Amino acid sequence: MGTRGPKPLDPGTLFAFAHQLYWDFRGLAEGSHRWKFNEQEYERLLSASKGIQLSEEQRASIAQCVAEEILEGRLKETEKEERIRALEESTLEMTHEWRHVQAAREARKRLLIPGEPDVLESLLRARDAEEVRRICEDTPNWPIAPGSVLPTYLSQHASAFVAATKDSRFPRSGRPTSQLKQLWFLSRALAGAIFKVKTRTAINLVGSNRPEQIFEESRAGKPARKKRRKK
């Protein structure tokens, strides 16, 4: 029989959690956007489109389609009027459905939710787990996505978070770009705590490249290989 033990952690799973935590940390620092649906505007747009009829261009297109069906022998001349009527009804129905979709889009408004850099700074300066948990009590007002897992895991693993801020490898440069490195370090450390993995192990498994850096590299693509010259 083989030796039993804990299953090795998939780096992809760890990265997925670190990735999600990282963007929530950034939302806390920089703010985020949310969509607000205006029900009154939606109803107004629908009312304005109730009397919509087929355009001359649509009618001409339907007539041409039916003429081609007759020419190709797929439709009898006696069925022409009925076929045109059916196509016009279905086209009008699809037009109304599209107007509903369009109205729903136009009735949305993108709202900017300002960041809370002071809250993030308080978390980074927290001396112990209890202080982190007290800060997390205000999470309903944080500019992060509804249903974010950050507040829950931050409270549950507050000790690991504080330890990560005091880790010797935690970026401490005062440069503006240092903050993103800090957030990525904390995200990896917190993801490791969730899966009961040491910070050092989590950092090594996930890697140093931040999510946006990986995306940029992916867009740029790999450089083309040079063809070898034949001797």
SS3 category, 58:
helix
| Gap between the Cα atoms of 191 and 197, Å rounded | 8
- Regions in the chain scoring below 70 on pLDDT: 1-8, 217-231
pTM above 0.75, yes or no: no
| Gap between the Cα atoms of 222 and 135, Å rounded | 43
| Gap between the Cα atoms of 49 and 97, Å rounded | 11
- Summarised one tens digit per residue, pLDDT across range 159-198 is 999 999 999 999 988 777 799 999 999 999 999 999 999 9
Secondary element (H or E) of residue 35: strand 31-37
SS3 category, 5:
coil
Alpha helices per DSSP H over the chain: 11-30, 39-48, 56-71, 80-106, 117-125, 129-136, 150-156, 158-165, 178-194, 199-206, 211-220
pLDDT at 8: 66
